[in-house]
Structure 1
Amino acid sequence: MTDTNKMGRRSFLRKAALGGSAAGVAGLAAPAVLAQAPMVLKMQTSWPASNIWQEMAQDYVTRVEAMAGGRLKIDLLPAGAVVGAFQVLDAVNDGLLDIGHDVPVYWYGKNKAASLFGTGPVFGGSATTMLNWFYEGGGKALYDELTQDIMGLDVDGYMAFPMPAQPFGWFKDPVSQVSDLDGFKYRTVGLAADLMNKLGMSVAQLPGGEIVPAMERGVIDAFEFNNPSSDRDFGAQDVAKNYILSSYHQASESFEFLFNGLTMEDMEPDLRAILIHGVEAVSTANTAKAARRYSADLAYLRDEAGVDVQRTSEEILAAQLDAWDELIPELEQDPFMKKCLDSQRAWVDQVVYYELMNSPDYTLAYEHYFPGKLNL
């Protein structure tokens, strides 16, 4: 379908909807007031309906509709309602969806550089560091270059909610040495898959909703998804009891909000601004919700579900960094990926120096007020 045909179809449908409303009230006696019908947008996520991330997407919808004052309505759908979890980008580009809510690594199969906007080496930066890079360090321009210029997509994307570093994952038995990982069938996504292959694992890239069934069938031996709440929602505690936190494989990720280009062009400027800046608003809301829910669900897993909560060993963390050192030169053979990595290195070098020099030892303070709780 050409851009002209897509625009014509979209405009025709909206004009028809408004025209129908006008016809319906034409016969009313004056001075009847015609209320403008809201513009309805279709939005799908990459998450199951029961997952906390679907709730976080709803938080965006709630804020946008409130700010739009009845002029916008968003029909929010879970993964699979229109397309599969890994097909959201294509659906937004093709106009099947007006808005998508996913993570860039879910379209890593189209271009490996997608992973640099969510699951890259990060060089010691946090998710907040990299979200700041997206908005203040040149990341958005590079993202647009990748999606619009290199890939030729009709999408406009924005990032929200700097996620806590992802757990190393769920294992049936404890692992503390690199040799313990050899031959494991492990679920992760994006460049983390390349990284874990270098540690001797065999990796399957699966959507979240397929993880626990794959574990039950023996398709995988271990897995990570993202956070204690999603893991609890999936029933991870029913298939493994060793939950290992802290890892460099996905130390930085944020949600991706994808907007169809024609939809945005056909939007009144103030409504377009609400959609874009609503991403910033929900980023704060999602961060606050995650702090409350993730910590509470971790306590549930530890105290009520019989899960042994651990931290990744220093040996495995060091091996992950060595694996990144081996992987980065391979990635930099691609000129665009090298440009992204150079930009990220320069940003991290600048801002994390300040962050680390300026930050007090929070572990020392926590142990001062809550002695004996940490198992480091």
Structure 2
Amino acid sequence: MTDDTTTPVATPTPATDGAKPGIGRRKFLAGAAVAGAGAVAMPAIARAQTTTWRFQSTWPARDIFHEFAADYVKMVNEMSGGRLKLELLPAGAVVGALQMQDAVLAGALDGGHGVTAYWYGKHKAYSLFGTPPAFGWDANQFLSWFYHGGGEALYNELVNDILNLPLTGFLTGPMPTQPLGWFKDEITSAEQLQNLKYRTVGLSADLFNDMGAAVTIVGGPDIVPSMDRGLLDAAEFNNPSSDRILGFADVSKNYMLQSYHQDSECFEVIFNKQKYEALDPDLRAILRYGAYAASSDMYWKAMARYPQDLAALKEAGVKVTRTPESVLEAQLASWDRVIANASGNEQTGQFFTKVIDSQKAFVKSMGSYFFDANAPKEPAYQHFFGQG
């Protein structure tokens, strides 16, 4: 959707083809030359055209994730100098969270902010570009694979070539390890997940199904109401700030940190490909590099805000515990089976395996450096601050 604001300044009226009575030809020509010079010195001036796009997030307006989307929008709008304006809308403003991509494809939206796990119903490999297996990497390292290890080419192959979706997308915003979630009772063994009505998304849904849970996939705005009505026994969303704002503490008092179901995840921003490619090159660059800038800023903000909100949850009576080693080990065993099952699919398995092999090769190389070069952080923290 565009809003043309080009308004040319009126140019001087051309001289008539003849002199007024009483004015000599020489004087007339001299006057005409001066008028012509004035016309050259005062060209028409036009203001830049503003292109306005509707850009919906998949998050409630009060969630910190919507704030992250707003940060990206602010960067793009300011860097474009008024030539491109993203108009941010929350989930539900045009369509529900899980329908955002289809709305961009249909032209009801021009772009959006979400996660690739929401689209894994179209191809299981979609989730590998947002919630990959827990190979021993974090989300910043996952983004390194995407932008410098061949991941972006594979993403474009999936979106544009295999699924034939006219979309342009960028990954942004590395998320810290997500909690196991909110439960009525503390989980002390993997057996307690059997038949538990649990909310998650993407390949994580396959993982928890493999562990015996009864998984339900719903968007962020619907999780707490579903728990309140008894439609869910337990759920994960993402982080202490979102979970606190969305009201999880009103329906549960057991909050379990650490998990391998979404050990690394990031956001995705998408745009209608035809509209994106119609933009001037500098505006396309702003959309791309804005994702880079927002990615760093989001992580910095998360490291400041998440600890504060976790402390507030504890003060409100929430019991915060770490997921036991036995459950983490069971999750890794389930990842083996999930990867094997998805790779064996006759229709989608070949490409799924192609992405997995690329990710494993990157992590194997990266890990050989990262774990040797970086000192463990927890002993140093405990030395100065105690158990935390």
Alignment TM-score, normalising by the size of structure 1: 0.91
- Report what 1:191 is aligned to: 203
Q: Where in structure 2 are the equivalents of 1:124-135 lying within 5 Å?
A: 124-135=136-147
Q: Shift of the alpha carbon at 1:238?
A: 0.8
1:89 to 70, 81, 101: 101
- Report what 1:342 is aligned to: 357
Structure 2 alignment gaps of length 5 or more = 14-41
- Report what 1:246 is aligned to: 258
1:204 corresponds to which letter in structure 2? T
Q: Please give the secondary structure, in 1, of the residue aligned with 2:88.
A: strand
8 Å Cα contact 1:129/1:352 also seen in 2: no
8 Å Cα contact 2:131/2:266 also seen in 1: no
- Report what 1:360 is aligned to: 375
The alignment status of 1:322 with 2:333, answered yes or no, reads yes
Q: Where in structure 2 are the equivalents of 1:194-205 lying within 5 Å?
A: 194-205=206-217
8 Å Cα contact 1:122/1:130 also seen in 2: no
1:280 corresponds to which letter in structure 2? Y
8 Å Cα contact 1:186/1:203 also seen in 2: yes
Q: Give, in whole Å, the separation in 1 of the partners of 2:118 and 2:12.
A: 51
The alignment status of 1:55 with 2:55, answered yes or no, reads no
Q: Please give the secondary structure, in 1, of the residue aligned with 2:7.
A: helix
- Report what 1:232 is aligned to: 244
8 Å Cα contact 1:65/1:73 also seen in 2: yes
- Report what 2:322 is aligned to: 311
Q: Give, in whole Å, the separation in 2 of the partners of 1:311 and 1:28.
A: 77
8 Å Cα contact 2:170/2:270 also seen in 1: yes
The alignment status of 1:291 with 2:303, answered yes or no, reads yes
Q: Give, in whole Å, the separation in 2 of the partners of 1:242 and 1:28.
A: 76
Q: Give, in whole Å, the separation in 2 of the partners of 1:195 and 1:357.
A: 30
8 Å Cα contact 1:188/1:225 also seen in 2: yes
The percentage of counterpart residues that share the same residue type is 50
Q: Where in structure 2 are the equivalents of 1:139-154 lying within 5 Å?
A: 139-154=151-166
Q: Please give the secondary structure, in 2, of the residue aligned with 1:264.
A: helix
1:321 corresponds to which letter in structure 2? L
- Report what 1:3 is aligned to: none
Q: Shift of the alpha carbon at 1:120?
A: 2.3
Q: Give, in whole Å, the separation in 2 of the partners of 1:358 and 1:173.
A: 39
Q: Please give the secondary structure, in 2, of the residue aligned with 1:122.
A: coil
Q: Give, in whole Å, the separation in 2 of the partners of 1:360 and 1:56.
A: 31
- Report what 1:74 is aligned to: 86
Q: Where in structure 2 are the equivalents of 1:252-291 lying within 5 Å?
A: 252-291=264-303
Alignment TM-score, normalising by the size of structure 2: 0.88
Over residues 279-330 of structure 1, what are the superposed CA-to-partner deviations in whole Å (9 max), with x where a residue is unaligned? 001101111111111111011111x211111111001001001111122111
Q: Shift of the alpha carbon at 1:122?
A: 3.4
- Cα gap change, 1:28 to 1:133, in 2 (>3 Å): farther
8 Å Cα contact 2:116/2:126 also seen in 1: yes
1:81 corresponds to which letter in structure 2? A
Q: Please give the secondary structure, in 2, of the residue aligned with 1:22.
A: coil
8 Å Cα contact 2:97/2:219 also seen in 1: yes
Q: Give, in whole Å, the separation in 2 of the partners of 1:253 and 1:145.
A: 20
8 Å Cα contact 1:102/1:256 also seen in 2: yes
1:272 corresponds to which letter in structure 2? R
Q: Give, in whole Å, the separation in 1 of the partners of 2:242 and 2:387.
A: 28
Over residues 317-355 of structure 1, what are the superposed CA-to-partner deviations in whole Å (9 max), with x where a residue is unaligned? 010011111221111121000000000110000001211
- Cα gap change, 1:28 to 1:189, in 2 (>3 Å): farther
Q: Please give the secondary structure, in 1, of the residue aligned with 2:174.
A: coil
- Cα gap change, 1:21 to 1:129, in 2 (>3 Å): closer
Over residues 164-183 of structure 1, what are the superposed CA-to-partner deviations in whole Å (9 max), with x where a residue is unaligned? 01100001111111122211
- Aligned-residue Cα RMSD (Å) equals 1.8
Q: Shift of the alpha carbon at 1:27?
A: 10
